[in-house]
């Protein structure tokens, strides 16, 4: 019987592999590919995660925790609100952080756990706090909302058929372009940012890249 520590390491191994595979191939990637990347048998993965949706949920939970941790540390360790937002976005995108998973596809037949829903809301709350602080400081343009940041994350971290090092370079490049557009003083943006309810709907129906 596996010890708790060994089980935790095994789980981390599978989640890390799943994150990499989904980043490269989207959520359509087969469980067998995840197992191969993790160096384990596919039957072992199915014993831990009986369905792909359960595995995807755990990948998302891991991403949510990372995002919340990065947001909290940025707010508490950076005196300048703009630098806190920049640090948060850079760190989340630097290694992917699984952040593409904050938006779906989400299986409407799958019942998501209370932990998942709670962390999903914490992500929204933490990013909203960073955005509001940067706007109050006059550094972030006033027509940007926290939902815009999450939508940007989705588009800055698509599934691309290339190496992780190249994906990281591209994320850094396009984040640099985005940050220039987020600074206050630019032309007014067309259309409103998504409201919270609209963002939630997008989180329940957005198609995978």
Query: Measured in Å, how far apart are the chain's first and last C-alpha atoms?
Result: 39
For 116-154, the pLDDT digits (tens) are 889 989 999 999 999 999 999 999 999 999 989 988 887
Contact 31, 55 (CB under 8 A): yes
DSSP state of 14: H
In whole angstroms, what is the distance from residue 104 CA to residue 60 CA? 10
φ and ψ at residue 140, rounded to 5 degrees: -100, 135
DSSP state of 139: -
Contact 179, 89 (CB under 8 A): yes
In whole angstroms, what is the distance from residue 24 CA to residue 21 CA? 5
In whole angstroms, what is the distance from residue 109 CA to residue 91 CA? 33
pLDDT per residue as tens, the chain (209 positions): 556 677 788 889 999 999 888 877 878 899 999 999 999 999 999 999 999 989 998 998 998 899 999 999 999 999 999 999 999 999 988 755 555 555 555 555 678 888 988 998 999 999 999 999 999 999 999 999 998 998 888 778 766 677 778 878 888 888 888 998 898 887 787 788 878 777 677 666 544 33
Residues 6+ apart with CB under 8 A from 149: 89, 127, 130, 131
Q: Does domain 53-205 have CATH number 3.40.1000.10?
A: no
Extents of the domains making up the chain: 53-205
């Amino acid at each position: 019987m596996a010890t708790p520590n060994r089980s935790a390491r095994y789980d981390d191994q599978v989640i890390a592999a799943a994150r990499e595979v989904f980043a490269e191939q989207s959520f359509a990637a087969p469980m067998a590919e995840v197992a191969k990347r993790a160096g384990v048998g596919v039957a072992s993965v199915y014993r831990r995660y009986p369905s792909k949706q359960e595995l995807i949920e755990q990948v998302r939970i891991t991403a949510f925790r990372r995002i919340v941790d990065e947001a909290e540390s940025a707010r508490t360790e950076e005196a300048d609100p703009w630098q806190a937002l920049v640090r948060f976005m850079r760190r989340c995108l630097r290694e992917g952080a699984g952040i593409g998973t904050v938006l779906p596809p989400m299986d409407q037949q799958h019942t998501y756990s209370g932990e998942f829903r709670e962390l999903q809301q914490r992500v929204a709350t933490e990013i909203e706090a960073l955005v509001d602080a940067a706007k109050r400081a006059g550094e972030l343009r006033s027509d940007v909302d926290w939902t815009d940041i999450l939508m940007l994350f989705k588009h800055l971290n698509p599934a691309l058929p290339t190496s992780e090092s190249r994906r990281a370079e591209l994320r850094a490049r396009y984040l640099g372009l985005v940050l220039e557009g987020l600074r206050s003083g630019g032309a007014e943006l067309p259309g409103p940012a998504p409201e919270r309810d609209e963002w939630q709907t997008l989180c329940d129906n957005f198609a995978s890249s």
